[in-house]
Amino acid sequence: MKGFAGPVALTDRLEKSKALDRPIRGLAKVVRERVKPGRLRDVLHGVPIGEPLHPSMASVTLGCWVSVGVLDAAGADSRAARLLLAVGIANALPTAAAGITDWSSLHREQQRVGFVHMAANLTALGLLSASLLARLRGRERAGKALSFAGLGIGTVGAYLGGHMAYRQAAGANHAPQVTHLVPLGWHDLCPIKDLPDGRPVARRLGYIQLFVLRRGESVTVLADHCPHLAGPLHQGRLVMQDGEACVVCPWHGSTFRLEDGSVKHGPATAPAPMFETRVRRDGTIQVRPLT
């Protein structure tokens, strides 16, 4: 409809708006400094479960709060509503910790939407906490009004979260398609003598870019696009961590084991697709996706 800015147009505008960039930059820096690389950060990103932790935790919180709305609308037992409110509020805190940790390592356009998503959800959390307090003091009507208001604002927050996940692909794996784009079987890549020893380079296989690392006679080949947000892995640093050779993505520091492409440290939660390699008698390296 002409002249009507729907939610998609508004969110697209938010993505491009620089109005909040200063607080966004400051907050992201503080989060990265406070939540240092290590076990806690990996857990908050969801590395141990192989997918971002925030969305599944958020669905528990939102599910509790939607259930409160249903119980209130049906005039059901107020004790159940109080219990669900309390569970949702308790779960909101680790959910927010996981979300803000992910958010601190996103592109600026994603951070702009994420910042408003966070503000909406914190407002909802405040209203639902006030609702619980009001109910505990016996003010049921005020409690219901506050939780309906919180649910309304939480719905805006959930919409923005959906925009980040499905339209901006924050948290999605950015590399799984690579193995589907390579036809089955072995493919010539390049002569081994053309590769520098001990330094990763990018090579193309058709229209796919690969990370190629030669170490002596051994060659490691991964998809070059980092699964986190498609950063160029061939520009990353090679490191040894806990006796394992790894590559560190130059964009946000995701660390992948060279042995099998698995994630050593987030923010990535999915492995870098790996290719099997062999060297022909004439010195040509051949690759095929590792299935």
Residues at the contact surface with ligand FES, assessed by CB under 6 A? 226, 228-229, 231, 249, 251-254, 267-268
Burial class (CB in 10 A: 0-12, 13-18, 19+), 196: exposed
- Nearer residue to ligand FES within complex by CB, 163 or 234: 234
What are phi and psi for residue 171, nearest 5 degrees? 90, -15
User: Whose Cβ is closer to ligand FES: residue 91's or residue 254's?
Assistant: 254
Question: What is the smallest separation between the CB atom of 40 and ligand FES, expressed in angstroms?
Answer: 18
Q: How far is the CB of 259 from ligand FES (least distance, A)?
A: 19
Distance of CA 253 to the CA centre of its chain: 13
Nearer to ligand FES, 251 or 275 (CB): 251
Nearest approach, Cβ of 250 to ligand FES (angstroms)? Answer: 7
User: Which amino acid does the sequence have at 180?
Assistant: H
Hey, which residues does 88 pair with through a beta bridge? none
Residues whose CB falls within 8 Å of the CB of residue 19, separated by 6 or more in sequence, listed in order: none
Given a contact cutoff of 8 angstroms between Cβ atoms, the answer to whether 256 and 268 are in contact is: yes
CB of 28 to ligand FES, least distance (A): 13
Residue 141 to residue 130: CA distance in whole angstroms: 12
CB closer to ligand FES, 151 vs 213: 213
Query: By the 8 A CB rule, do 227 and 254 touch?
Result: yes
* Least distance in angstroms from the C-beta of 256 to ligand FES: 9
Tell me if residue 73 falls in helix, strand or coil.
helix
Closest to ligand FES by CB, 100 or 146: 100
Residue placing its CB nearer to ligand FES in the complex, 151 or 222: 222
**Smallest distance from ligand FES to CB 52, Å:** 13
Distance CA 261, CA 62 (A): 35
